[in-house]
Amino acid sequence: MTAPGPRNLAKAIALKVVSALLFALLSAFVRYLGETGVPVGQSVFFRSAFAIVPVVLIYAWRRELMSAVRTARPLGHLGRGTISVVGMFLNFAALARLPLVDATAISFAAPLITVAFAAWFLGERVRIYRWSAVGVGFIGVIVMLWPYLDLSQFSAEGAVAQAATLGAMFALAGAFTNAGSVIQTRRLTATETTSSIVFYFSVICALAGLATLPFGWLWPDRLQLAALIGAGLVAGLGHILLTESYRFASASVIAPFDYTMMIWVFLLGYWMFGEVPTVYVYVGSTIVVVSGLFVIWRERQLRLRRERESEGPANVI
């Protein structure tokens, strides 16, 4: 694993915020591709294949390319990649059917689900405070999902309403797979480098996307091709900047800046697609974000407490 670099909070925050912007651009590209009829599998392939380009270039320039290829746990990467592939298909399918802000806001349930998964699969001790935050967060998710759960609208609005409801279900299922991917990543970090995790993730997802070619891909026009390639490049660069941010500050300090992505998707959704969030999204996403921030704060407090306890009582002179 790469050793942590010198502490530089301002640089860490800047890298984190820029990575959030890049991931928001990725979502906007995928939203556009879905709206123009590009198959999800084709978008998955281009997003994953072209994400490898900046990863390979930057790690080759650093002379760390072999660390990206070398692995002691190929099956672990396969398991993580499989979960991530399912999540990517679900997330892309949701973006093709939902407004950009709605799909993104629902996806922010993933950190809350990760808390539950960490307790169940990793045996982490989760106290009442974090369980309460998870419960409150899911109330926020239900608020956001509420408009899509009104089945009476199907008879009036037909296929559009059905597609939106299906998209909401895809987004929620994607949040669960994203949380599962985080848990598997935590397991891999015990022996694997960050570069190898990103590299094999991209390769596995690209192969899965390529497997959909026989089911019919669209011959893209210039704008679609630019969006397909752009999705991959910003995804790869976003992962690199995200990784770099953790070199200069601890995860618990900069994790809250993940939520700046909501600002970017709001602006991109309005600018590119003329989308205006509903009151359900405003209220529900606020509840989810506050719950997520509480979980982050609580985990930071527990980490600091463990560090103090491990140091033992101070020496009295």
Residue 97 CA to residue 74 CA, distance in Å, equals 35
Range scoring the smallest mean pLDDT among 28-32, 136-140, 155-159: 155-159
Please state the domain extents for the chain.
Answer: 9-311
DSSP 162-229: HHHHHHHHHHHHHHHHHHHHHHHHHHHTTTS-HHHHHHHHHHHHHHHHHTTGGG------HHHHHHHH
How many CB atoms are located within 10 Å of the residue 32 CB? Answer: 24
By mean pLDDT, which of 27-36, 85-94, 121-130, 296-305 is the weakest? 296-305
Tokens encoding 130: 């974090």
- Among the residue ranges 84-88, 120-124, 252-256, 271-275, the one predicted with the least confidence is 252-256
Give the span between the Cα atoms of 300 and 307, in whole angstroms. Answer: 11
Stretch (H or E) spanning 232: helix 222-248
Contact present, 280 and 143 (Cβ < 8 Å): yes
Q: What average pLDDT does the segment 62-80 reach?
A: 83
Tens digits of residue pLDDT in 214-231: 998 999 999 999 999 999
Q: What is the mean pLDDT of the chain?
A: 84
d(CA 142, CA 34): 25
> Predicted confidence band at 296 (pLDDT cuts at 50, 70, 90)?
confident
What is the pLDDT confidence band of residue 2, given thresholds at 50, 70 and 90? very low
pLDDT value for 91? 95
What are 2's two structure tokens?
Answer: 């790469």
What pLDDT score does 309 carry?
65
- The SS3 assignment for 123 reads coil
> Torsion-angle region of residue 274: left (phi > 0), alpha (psi -120 to 50) or beta?
left
- Highest-scoring range by mean pLDDT, 9-23, 33-47, 300-314: 33-47
| pLDDT on residue 1 | 42
Rounded Cα gap, residues 111 and 139, in angstroms: 14
Could you give the C-alpha distances from 295 to 117, 129, 156, 218, in angstroms and in order? 14, 8, 41, 43
DSSP 3: P
Q: Are 97 and 171 in contact (CB under 8 A)?
A: no
Q: What is the DSSP string of 274-292?
A: -----HHHHHHHHHHHHHH
Structure tokens that stand for 298 in this block: 């609580």
pLDDT at 222: 95
The pLDDT assigned to 195 comes to 77
Q: What is the pLDDT of residue 312?
A: 53
pLDDT surpasses 90 at 90: yes
Instruction: Give the tens place of pLDDT for each residue, 20-57.
Output: 999 999 999 999 999 999 999 999 999 999 998 888 88
